[in-house]
Structure 1
Amino acid sequence: MEGVPIGRKLDLLLLDGYDSLLIKLCHMFKTPITYADVMECHQQVPGQKAAHVLTYEDQDGDWMMVGDVPWELFLSSVKKLRIARMDKC
């Protein structure tokens, strides 16, 4: 299933920040996901390393790491989210 697009809509304006986004995605996809410097998924076994990393496509078409910019700037520039395997980044 690697590389297969999954069309899911997510209203980012209903979320409080990166942590709530990560929790929502961990629930949706049942896999450990991380972003930027966070190395554990909130909904997994404590100490378990994440297998996937969260990236996003900005308005310029560049793929960026989620968490690298303040939440408000992220909200204004994100077009697509991508969950990638950690070893593919």
Structure 2
Amino acid sequence: KSSQRSPSESQSKQTRTCTKVHMQGVAVGRAVDLTRFDCYDDLLKKLEQMFDIKGELCGSSGKWQVVYTDDEDDVMMVGDDPWHEFCSIVRKIFIYTSEEVKRLSPKNKLVVEDGKCSNVDADVPAASEEQSSAVGPSS
């Protein structure tokens, strides 16, 4: 058998349509078909609807921030890249509280400035889907 991929296999690798989305504190992830959206605003509105957080991603509340991992597990803020470039490189999307993004930043070498993150040298994704924001007794 040949180890080379057919053109259609290579093409499907480049443009994946369904992307997993995980929200902090929500046990079950969801998936979005990025081909159904034309811009970040459309995506954010859909995420608000899916996770029942209307106005908390697009609004000025600043409660939640959306980050994503790419093929190299680099963690970046949604909106930092042109839309079509984002669609071709995104692997997973994560919705975290602003506090969680700031808390995770030093560990993952993300630089947070004015609500924006830029990846300096992240070796690890921002968090795994197993992490939770559950609050309980510390002892």
Q: Which runs of 5+ in 1 are unaligned?
A: 35-39, 41-47
Structure with greater proportional strand content: 2
2:61 aligned partner, one-letter code: K
Q: Distance in 2 between matches of 1:15 and 1:66?
A: 14
**1:1-80 alignment, distance < 5 Å:** 2=24, 5-31=27-53, 32-34=56-58, 40=59, 48-80=60-92
Q: Which runs of 5+ in 2 are unaligned?
A: 1-22, 102-139
Q: Distance in 2 between matches of 1:57 and 1:2?
A: 15
Q: TM-score, normalised by structure 2?
A: 0.51
Cα drift, residue 73 of structure 1: 0.5
Count of paired positions? 77
> What residue in structure 2 maps to residue 43 of structure 1?
none
> Out of 86, 92, 96, which is 1:84 matched to?
96
1:8 aligned partner, one-letter code: R
Cα drift, residue 50 of structure 1: 2.7
Q: Secondary structure at the match of 2:31?
A: coil
RMSD of equivalent CA atoms: 1.8
Percent identity, aligned pairs only? Answer: 40
1:25 aligned partner, one-letter code: L
For 1:17-64, what per-residue CA distance to the aligned partner results, in whole angstroms no more than 9, with x for missing partners?
A: 100001001111122125xxxxx2xxxxxxx51311000001110110
Cα drift, residue 88 of structure 1: 1.2
Q: TM-score, normalised by structure 1?
A: 0.77
